[in-house]
């Protein structure tokens, strides 16, 4: 399965319908525009669902987890074993994403996309393992064409399952030591921004370590261009060459979700890198996206500007796991609820007269 096999409609672009929703928003008992970003969010969700009365049902957070061969180059402050340890922590209900998901009534699903560990017999982990981590993309492509297609297909299948169960809103999280390196390489190749704008501290690297990380990515891309004898790669080639199994799987999941007109809650730097790939193939996918927060990871603000995304939160977070999506969900609910439940000036007998 490849990117091109998806079909994503544009959100409702009918000007009359958009004006009708905007009028509905403006007629609520408040000064026009006084709910700020919530008003823009309500309009976006109504257009995405093509409904004057949008609704959110069975919200999910999906955590896609995988290991990365590039960690062999010292690009992370933590050893790769932390990926498996954190996955088990998720299943025990003890991580930040568990706390925030419980708090906000979000179903949480942990997916083994390619962790270098055996989770056989652990029912709390959805097995979609492509392999025990990607290859070291400094020297070879991170994954094969077949592995990439498998990852996209698994992501698509998981979304189809939760959509069949009645979900129409899904948040995207991840876990994978080394995955900020993949995300930075993806950002550089998609946006053409210099690497100094794309590479950050990740799990907490110091300045010299960040320089080393940047140098590794630069050399890896140079090696890939020489290996493939081209300076230009398609989105699917980029994820195959420098991506991770969890990032490829998120791409498939995002594309499938948008094909069902679901709302996509985009978390931070890693999830946004998957969206960069999906949007490079299907720009209309962004119409179904809610950008949960602006991560403190270097490059995320630039990513958001490139995608035209307006983050709901700026909390200085860079944890991943889908935590930003989980924390932003009550605001998404608030946008839908005020549109559906708030009184109008007429229904509340409130005057609209403005004093001179």
Q: Does residue 251 contact residue 239 with C-beta atoms inside 8 Å? A: yes
Domain-embedded: residue 15: no
Q: What angle do CA 239, 240, 246 make, to 5 degrees?
A: 60
Domain-embedded: residue 346: no
Domain-embedded: residue 236: yes
pLDDT digits (tens, 9 = 90+) for 33-77: 999 999 999 999 999 999 999 999 999 999 999 999 999 999 999
For residue 197, count CB atoms less than 10 angstroms from its CB and return exposed for 0-12, middle for 13-18, buried for 19 or more: middle
Beta strand pairing call for 60-66 and 289-291:
unpaired
In the predicted structure, residue 356 carries a pLDDT above the cut 70: no
Which residue range(s) make up the domain with 195? 61-339
Domain-embedded: residue 51: no
Say how many Å lie between the first and final Cα of the chain, rounded.
63
pTM (whole model) above 0.85: yes
What pLDDT is stored for residue 354 in this prediction? 61
Domain-embedded: residue 10: no
For 12, the 3-state DSSP assignment is: coil
Q: Which residues are catalytic?
A: 321
Handedness of CA 10, 16, 20, 23 (dihedral sign): positive
Show Cβ contacts of residue 248 under 8 Å, excluding neighbours closer than 6 positions: 113, 130, 143, 148, 151, 152, 155, 239, 240, 274
Q: What is the CATH number of the domain that holds 284?
A: 3.40.50.10210
Could you please report the per-residue DSSP string of 191-236? H---HHHH---TTT--HHHHHHHHHHHHHHHHHHHHHHT-S---HH
pLDDT digits (tens, 9 = 90+) for 125-172: 999 999 999 999 999 999 999 999 999 999 999 999 999 999 999 999
In the predicted structure, residue 355 carries a pLDDT above the cut 60: no
Q: Does residue 134 contact residue 177 with C-beta atoms inside 8 Å? A: no
Distances, alpha carbon 345 to alpha carbons 23, 26, 46, 342, in Å: 12, 10, 21, 10
Beta strand pairing call for 125-127 and 169-175:
unpaired
Residue of 202 and 173 predicted with greater confidence: 173
pLDDT digits (tens, 9 = 90+) for 277-331: 999 999 999 999 999 999 999 999 999 999 999 999 999 999 999 999 999 999 9
C-alpha closest to that of 116 among 273, 249, 250, 245 = 245
Domain-embedded: residue 53: no
Which runs of consecutive H residues, i.e. helices, occur in the chain? 15-26, 37-49, 81-91, 96-103, 145-164, 179-191, 195-198, 207-228, 235-242, 245-259, 269-281, 300-307, 323-341
Mean pLDDT of 209-223: 97
What pLDDT is stored for residue 7 in this prediction? 87
Report how many domains make up the chain: 1
């Amino acid at each position: 399965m490849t990117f091109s096999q998806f079909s994503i409609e544009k959100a409702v672009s009918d000007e009359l319908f958009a004006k009708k929703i905007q009028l509905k928003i403006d007629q609520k008992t408040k000064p026009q525009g006084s709910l700020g970003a919530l008003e823009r969010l309500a309009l976006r969700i109504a257009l995405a669902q093509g409904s004057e009365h949008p609704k959110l049902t069975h919200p999910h957070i999906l955590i896609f987890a995988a290991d990365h061969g590039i960690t062999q180059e010292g690009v992370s402050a933590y050893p790769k074993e932390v990926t498996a340890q954190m996955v088990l922590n998720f299943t025990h209900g003890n991580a930040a994403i568990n706390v925030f998901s419980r708090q906000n009534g979000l179903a949480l699903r942990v997916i083994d996309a390619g962790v270098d560990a055996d989770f056989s017999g652990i029912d709390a982990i959805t097995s979609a393992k492509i392999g025990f981590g990607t290859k070291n993309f400094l020297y070879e492509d991170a994954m094969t064409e077949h592995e990439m297609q498998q990852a996209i297909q698994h992501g698509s299948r998981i979304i189809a399952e939760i959509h069949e169960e009645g979900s129409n809103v899904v948040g995207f999280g991840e876990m994978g030591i080394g995955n900020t390196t993949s995300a930075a390489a993806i950002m550089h190749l998609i946006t053409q921004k210099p690497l100094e704008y794309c590479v950050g501290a990740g799990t907490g690297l110091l300045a010299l370590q960040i320089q080393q990380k940047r140098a590794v990515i630069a050399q890896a891309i140079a090696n890939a261009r020489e290996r493939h004898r081209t300076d230009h790669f398609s989105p699917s080639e980029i994820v195959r060459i420098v991506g991770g199994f969890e990032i490829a799987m998120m791409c498939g999941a995002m594309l499938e979700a948008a094909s069902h007109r679901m709302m996509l809650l985009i978390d931070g730097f890693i999830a946004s890198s998957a969206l960069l790939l999906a949007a490079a193939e299907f720009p209309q996918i962004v119409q179904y996206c809610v950008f949960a927060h602006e991560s403190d990871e270097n490059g995320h603000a630039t990513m958001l500007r490139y995608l035209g995304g307006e983050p709901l939160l700026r909390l200085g977070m860079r944890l991943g796991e889908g935590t930003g999506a989980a924390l932003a969900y009550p605001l998404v609910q608030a946008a839908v609820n005020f549109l559906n439940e708030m009184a109008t000036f007429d229904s509340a007998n409130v005057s609209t007269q403005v004093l001179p």
